[in-house]
């Protein structure tokens, strides 16, 4: 059973993954901005599995919180062999943006790119010890193709995909395997304003949780680097 850091576990995809992996028997360290988001949920260690769940403050824009989360997890679990990066934000900044939107672009860069980068860097020495560590990253279809006018979100996800490739390259000899999950729309808060097709036809967070569960069962020789998930036909990728 694995010792897993999950960012963005308060809601959406991260929460669904945490619930599934808890059921599978893994130990989870959940990094959240507000610990209250976990209170009185099945992920609250005060209610369930106190020996297998810990919750720590983590804000992707605060580099110190990344390091203290990693160190506190290692102290508790004595091992870290998996990271699942789910924390992320979405903004609709176009190519020709208003001057007051520059902060949104900077936020995307900080949360979607620097967040996973710094967290991975902080945990690297522990991942390297395992010989079969896993890093799963919630990228997006927007990390594979730029659709419409989502300039800044796509920019952040293409950069994240590049980071995934480097993690794979540098981790390979150490037995670290990386998977970039690239979904289209997933039925979470992030997609709540999308109304041009039914929510039930979107990818569901639990579908991604099941994929993660299966990924963690695979041996080093058979871990896919990229999983693209389409809920609508796309013929160009």
Residues near ligand NAP (CB under 6 A)? 7-8, 10-14, 33-34, 37, 58-61, 86-90, 111, 138, 140, 183, 185-186, 188-191
Q: Which residues are CB-contacts of 146 (< 8 A; sequence separation ≥ 6)?
A: 154, 158
Nearest residue to ligand NAP on Cβ basis: 88
**Burial environment of residue 175 by CB neighbours within 10 A (0 to 12, 13 to 18, 19 or more):** middle
Q: Determine the Cα–Cα distance for residues 16 and 30; give it in Å rounded to an integer.
A: 12
Helix (H, G, I), strand (E, B), or coil: what is residue 51? Answer: coil
Least Cβ distance, residue 43 to ligand NAP (angstroms): 12
Least Cβ distance, residue 129 to ligand NAP (angstroms): 26
Q: Determine the Cα–Cα distance for residues 168 and 118; give it in Å rounded to an integer.
A: 16
Beta carbon nearer to ligand NAP, 210 or 220: 210
Least Cβ distance, residue 195 to ligand NAP (angstroms): 13
Beta carbon nearer to ligand NAP, 91 or 177: 91
As a whole number of Å, the end-to-end CA separation of the chain is 35
Beta carbon nearer to ligand NAP, 25 or 92: 92
Least Cβ distance, residue 112 to ligand NAP (angstroms): 6
């Amino acid at each position: 059973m694995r010792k897993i850091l999950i960012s963005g576990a308060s809601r959406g995809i991260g929460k669904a993954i945490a619930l599934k992996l808890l059921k599978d028997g893994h130990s989870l360290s959940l990094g959240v901005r507000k610990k209250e988001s976990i209170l009185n949920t099945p992920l609250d260690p005060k209610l369930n599995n106190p020996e297998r769940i810990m919750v720590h403050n983590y804000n992707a824009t605060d580099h110190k919180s990344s390091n203290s989360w990693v160190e506190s997890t290692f102290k508790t679990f004595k091992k870290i062999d998996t990271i699942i990066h789910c924390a992320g934000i979405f903004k609709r900044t176009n190519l020709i943006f208003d001057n007051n939107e520059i902060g949104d672009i900077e936020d995307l860069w900080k949360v979607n790119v620097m967040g996973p980068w710094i967290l991975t860097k902080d945990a690297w020495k522990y991942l390297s010890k395992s010989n079969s560590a896993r890093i799963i990253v919630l990228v997006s279809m927007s990390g594979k193709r730029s659709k419409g006018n989502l300039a800044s979100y796509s920019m952040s996800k293409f950069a994240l995909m590049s980071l995934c490739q480097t993690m794979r390259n540098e981790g390979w000899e150490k037995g670290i395997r990386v998977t970039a999950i690239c979904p289209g729309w997933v039925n979470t808060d992030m997609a709540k304003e999308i109304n041009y097709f039914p929510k039930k036809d979107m990818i569901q967070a639990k579908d991604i949780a099941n994929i993660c569960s299966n990924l963690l069962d695979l041996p080093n020789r058979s871990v896919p680097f990229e999983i693209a998930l389409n809920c609508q036909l796309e013929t160009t990728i």
